[in-house]
Structure 1
Amino acid sequence: MRHRFVGFAKTTVLVIIEKWSSFLMDKPGLWGLFMIICLLAGTIPVGCGRQASPSVPTSTANPGSTNWEPFRQVREFWYLQSLLGENVGYERISVRSVGNSSSACREVEGEVVLRVKRMGTPVSVVTRYRSVETCEGRPREFTVTVEQGRALAEYRGRVSGRQLVVETVVAGRTARQTFDLPEDCRGFLGLQDWLWEKNMRPGEVREFSCLMLGVNGVCQARAHARDYEAVQVSGRETRLLRIDILYTLPGNQRVEQTVWSDSSGMIVKQRMNSPPVEAVLVPKERALQTASSSLDLIEDIRIPARAPGDLTKAHRATYHIKGSIKGLAELLATGVNQQVRRLGDDILELTVTTRGPGGNSGTCGDQATPEEQEPSLWIQSDASEIRAIAQSIAHSAKEPASLAVALERYVFHTVRHRDYNQAFLSALDVLKTKEGDCTEHAVLLAALARASSIPSRVAVGLVYHRDAFYYHMWTELLIDRCWIGFDATRGNGGIHAGYIKFGHDSLAGSDALGAFLPLTKLLGQIKIEIVKVEGD
């Protein structure tokens, strides 16, 4: 059973595609950056950009020009992707004209290929996308396909009047969403288009917005051009304009990024500090030299820690979490089971108390949202196969607490094969393949619980295993008005105090993993000391 439960840090482009659906292509290469984030557990962007100034002069010399002639030839760009200092893949972007001069429009097409390892298993993710846009970069339609392991996801979008209609196809099911489309909404090259048309000056600030397909809302962004600085690019020092960007997502979560552009406005380098991801503009030959990376996105990102007692039998544990991450305390979930106390600027004290599935008597007073009780694209609790299994288990376990334990045990014995090359599978796919890691266990248990009239959601965070904390996903079920944690990768009838929670999500609709962004800020940034362990 070694590492059977370790799996949130997985190659699941499917996950982040659902959450970051437009934000990623606001600049070339950002799609690849968020694909890398998904490797740790990027969406098709239909990014829209709005400048502070309503009128922007157009240069006919740049790739983003509205002049017809510059589009006659295909313009192609390659970005080398790296994570934790190691090359892990590339992104190719091409822009060309389609149609004729009376109905001019352009096609943006590309692919992202990432290769890493998970528990020594080489994994590869390939994402291909295509968008038809006006010459000004306003979207008309797009398609995206993602291939990884057994998973295949498809995303189709089209503009109808002043609305964007998006269909997401997963496991044979289709979810449809409609969004209001701002008049100046840009397509795949959002911010890059603006820079091509009018490059920023040192000290200049621009504000724009990006349609977030996966979060049913708009991401607000603020770009601040700092100054020209010497930057190492492919072993050479180049003077580039540094632009710091702050994205505010729905729910007030924030993502910070830095890009460097040349005198023509071309984005040459990008960096995100959390996680430590970079993308650099390189020649095609350099990008294609990337072989399978030796970076292991399970073992190489774990957080070593030594426990003074047996955490697997503990109902309470106290931790000191150290790190200079802005807003670290806000990244941790708080409530009845977790309390956070500041000990200093860079250190927190976290107390975790677990509750078992019996004897709670409604003392928590928790309630479920409709999304935590209903079927969704990922949790198909209305599928006949899932309902039949839930009903058969309910015959031998009538009470909610005992039924929850029986469902956890069923998933533990059913998902037999550990497949670290799988993407984020839906519950129905897991039931058919009977393989996967922690995310597959979590969604199947969530589906069986909802089919048994027990509200459910998935939780994400860290779990202690063999002198280290690993990134992990498990399931929470509402029993006697208390959210109780269950881990079907272990099948122990609940969880212990060695689980540190950062967020949870109902996986409603096609908005999959909004609660999991905080985890991306932790990679290589924190240390954990286990101060006290208390048993039963």
Structure 2
Amino acid sequence: MSSSSPIGPIAPRRRHAWMRPRPLPRPLTRSVSVLVLIAWVATMAVLVNRSYLQASVNLATDLSRYGSAAEWRGVYYRGAKIGFTVRQVVPTNDGFRLEEDGQLEMTLLGATTAARIRTTAHVDDTFALRSFEFSLDPGTGPISVHGRVERPQPVGSRGDDRWRLVVDVTTGGVTRTEERALATPPLLTINLGRRLAREGLVPGDRHEWIVFDPATLSNVPVVVQIGEREVVRVGNTRMPAFRVDMRFAGLQTASWVTDTGEVVREESPLGILTLREPADRATIMAVPGRVQTDLLEAAAVVPVMTQRIDDPRGVRRLRVRLEGADLSSADLDGVGQTIDGDIIEITRPETPAHGSPDPDAGRYLAPEPLIESDDPAIQAEAALAVGGFVGARARAEALTRYVNGLLDKKPTVGFPSAREVLRTKIGDCNEHTALYVAMARALGIPTRIAAGLVYMRGAFYYHAWPEVYLDEGDEGASWWSVEPTLNQFPADGTHLRLARGGLERQLVILPLIGRLRMTVLDLEFAPDSTSVLLATSPVALESSAFPIPTLPRDTDGWCGCAGQPAP
């Protein structure tokens, strides 16, 4: 950590050597990185008000437009400088234009990524949102979002007295328009401070607003609680500011806001901090290599276990106790996973279950903004992938192998569009999942996104995979977890689902990072795996059983993600 850090040294957490997860193979590590990255960047959306990433714009040219009244802030992760932002408010004829630029440099899972930041929001003289512009280019093709807010129409003219948010999403040169009806006008995080200042910062006041997140195309409720005025240290000076606590997607953040709406300090439980700084100090970057280690360690859930899993592909049944999370969501039950209190059991299916058809399955055939199953290129590629295969199960498995072999395993910073993934043919678990879901729906196979944890080399890591509905008529109908990223059909028994749905649903994972505690209660391996008892070691494990798989391995010591599809 740099000696100039404003936070001071952080004591390392002690962990016995036997408890540390073993290093993942590099390609596999990259494939599971995106959920951690989404959680991390989504947190930045709250703290840094990120709404625009565009790597092609010249930073120096953009920053030249900021005057002496601009607000500069440095961004730190656990004491390490990782970026900066600059913001200004420009008066217009009918309100204000809010502008923000910046840069983040992240060392994540072996890959260093620099992300440009820009936000443009048009508000009225009360700082209510009127329109916004958003674009994100993760290096695999730009996704642009333009939104405008329409006021309620008088009853009788359109029969709708609600606010409406009209959103145009453009990927690959094709634009799709969506409309969202809202009870109240939406906000972007960039105008929250000014909105609070206008309404008056009164200790004890509580506000509930709807914030639109253009990155996930979702409306998220935000609860804001105004605290007492405190004296905050900012660099070498001290200044009065109100503490403002905000809950966003289950994540609690704290900000210190002045009477004029300037945010001088923000922090989150994930170790991210922003501080107001002079421009010359804010733009100094220093990204130490240990940031990578911190993110991996913070994201991994290292279980307490008396059996060792040498290869998760051999796990047929897993029973765990999960603590530190709200387990009341219906997403945790079903598709080979059952829950009883804080006990979760996962069973890998061998054949489709003989059950009645799911009447809700049909809704997982429709295209979505980033799951473009109606795109002609996706439809043609899907037909090519399953050519010659008959039956839902055979076609779903063929598609799993095809998508695994089609994409080059590389980390991306962003949110995947199936159309762009097919064009670039690169990505990690979210790209594999988005493309698989779109292609399966194009084939008439209901498919949805699951997100949660998967076991790899000593720990559980955050991950995403598809769930596919297999209706084989008299042979049964059921949902299966499949794994195009790791080339598994069905997915192994260590896939623990925490949420279903797109990025807006995956945000529920945010508050779980760093809090989950897991104890493995029982393991059952497939018949083609052999349990081997090891002598008692200094780590005090009573026994250790691990399967000796008969499946082929690639040269990297891992199947699927690192190389070609396994037979």
2:433 to 437, 442, 456: 442
Aligned mates of 1:186, 1:492 — CA distance in 2? 42
Tell me the number of residue pairs that the alignment of Structure 1 and Structure 2 aligns: 466
Indicate conservation of the 8 Å contact 1:422/1:436, yes or no: no
Q: 1:189 to 1:453 in 2, by over 3 A?
A: closer
Residue by residue over 1:460-489, the C-alpha shift from the partner in whole angstroms, topping out at 9 and shown as x without a partner, is 111111111111111110013311011112
Partner residue in 2 for 1:63: none
Partner residue in 2 for 1:176: 177
Q: 1:487 to 1:178 in 2, by over 3 A?
A: same
Counterpart of 1:460 in structure 2: which amino acid? Answer: A
Q: 1:299 to 1:120 in 2, by over 3 A?
A: same
Indicate conservation of the 8 Å contact 2:188/2:213, yes or no: no
1:90 to 84, 90, 110: 84
What is the CA-CA distance between 1:224 and the residue it aligns to? 2.6
Indicate conservation of the 8 Å contact 1:321/1:350, yes or no: yes
Aligned mates of 1:288, 1:239 — CA distance in 2? 25
Q: Which runs of 5+ in 1 are unaligned?
A: 37-71, 248-252, 343-347, 506-511
Q: Does 1:299 align with 2:308?
A: no
Q: 1:166 to 1:329 in 2, by over 3 A?
A: closer
Q: Does 1:6 align with 2:6?
A: no
Partner residue in 1 for 2:349: 355
Partner residue in 2 for 1:58: none
Q: 1:12 to 1:239 in 2, by over 3 A?
A: same
Partner residue in 2 for 1:157: 147
- What secondary structure, in the 3-state scheme, does the structure 2 residue paired with 1:110 have? strand
Partner residue in 1 for 2:405: 413
What is the CA-CA distance between 1:35 and the residue it aligns to? 8.9
What is the CA-CA distance between 1:132 and the residue it aligns to? 2.9
Residue by residue over 1:169-210, the C-alpha shift from the partner in whole angstroms, topping out at 9 and shown as x without a partner, is 122221212345778766665331233335423333344444
Moved more, 518-527 or 213-222: 213-222
Give the root-mean-square deviation of aligned CA atoms.
Answer: 3.5
Indicate conservation of the 8 Å contact 2:233/2:239, yes or no: yes
Partner residue in 1 for 2:358: 366
Partner residue in 1 for 2:417: 426
Aligned mates of 1:2, 1:257 — CA distance in 2? 32
Aligned mates of 1:214, 1:116 — CA distance in 2? 19
Partner residue in 2 for 1:333: 332
Aligned mates of 2:415, 2:40 — CA distance in 1? 6
Q: Does 1:376 align with 2:373?
A: no
Indicate conservation of the 8 Å contact 1:114/1:125, yes or no: yes
What is the CA-CA distance between 1:404 and the residue it aligns to? 1.0
What is the CA-CA distance between 1:227 and the residue it aligns to? 2.4
Q: Which runs of 5+ in 2 are unaligned?
A: 1-26, 54-65, 153-163, 472-476, 527-567
Residue by residue over 1:480-534, the C-alpha shift from the partner in whole angstroms, topping out at 9 and shown as x without a partner, is 33110111122122111111111111xxxxxx41220122112222232322111
Residue by residue over 1:321-364, the C-alpha shift from the partner in whole angstroms, topping out at 9 and shown as x without a partner, is 333x5x3554972235223344xxxxx332222224x342236x
Q: Does 1:477 align with 2:468?
A: yes
Q: 1:421 to 1:214 in 2, by over 3 A?
A: closer
Counterpart of 2:354 in structure 1: which amino acid? Answer: S
Q: Does 1:129 align with 2:119?
A: yes
**As a proportion of its length, which structure holds more strand?**
1
- What secondary structure, in the 3-state scheme, does the structure 1 residue paired with 2:176 have? strand
Q: Does 1:147 align with 2:137?
A: yes
Partner residue in 2 for 1:47: none
Aligned mates of 1:181, 1:223 — CA distance in 2? 19
Residue by residue over 1:361-400, the C-alpha shift from the partner in whole angstroms, topping out at 9 and shown as x without a partner, is 236x534454410223322223333323332344422011
Q: Does 1:523 align with 2:519?
A: no
What is the CA-CA distance between 1:438 and the residue it aligns to? 1.0
Aligned mates of 2:111, 2:454 — CA distance in 1? 21
Counterpart of 1:519 in structure 2: which amino acid? Answer: I
1:270 to 251, 266, 288: 266
Structural mapping, 1:23-62, within 5 Å: 29-32=47-50
Partner residue in 2 for 1:105: 95
Aligned mates of 1:190, 1:420 — CA distance in 2? 32
Aligned mates of 2:334, 2:115 — CA distance in 1? 37
Aligned mates of 2:113, 2:422 — CA distance in 1? 22
